[in-house]
Amino acid sequence: MKSETEAVEMYSKWSLEVITTERDIGTEQLFKKVVMEEEKHFEIFETEFLNLQKFGQQGTEKG
């Protein structure tokens, strides 16, 4: 989950940089899409982690 959080922070920073320094809207939107995907990944891992804590291996999707 840490790598997902780091990815969100990194792409968010790049998104802001590219729009403020380059005025590159296309690249900014690309970075925003990546951020949203990474946020989804984080939510999936968080849910799996909580399910693992709560139900053990049988509580996960692949259980």
Asked whether the beta carbons of 43 and 1 are under 8 A apart, the reply is: no
Q: Binding Fe ion by CB under 5 A: which of 14, 41, 45, 51?
A: 41
| Minimum separation from the CB atom of position 52 to Fe ion (A) | 18
Task: Establish if 39 lies at the interface with Fe ion (CB under 5 A).
Answer: no
End-to-end CA, the chain: 19
Q: Which two structure tokens, joined as six digits, stand for 16?
A: 């802001």
Residues in the chain: 63
Task: Establish if 32 lies at the interface with Fe ion (CB under 5 A).
Answer: no
Task: Establish if 12 lies at the interface with Fe ion (CB under 5 A).
Answer: no
The site for Fe ion (CB under 5 A) is made up of 38, 41
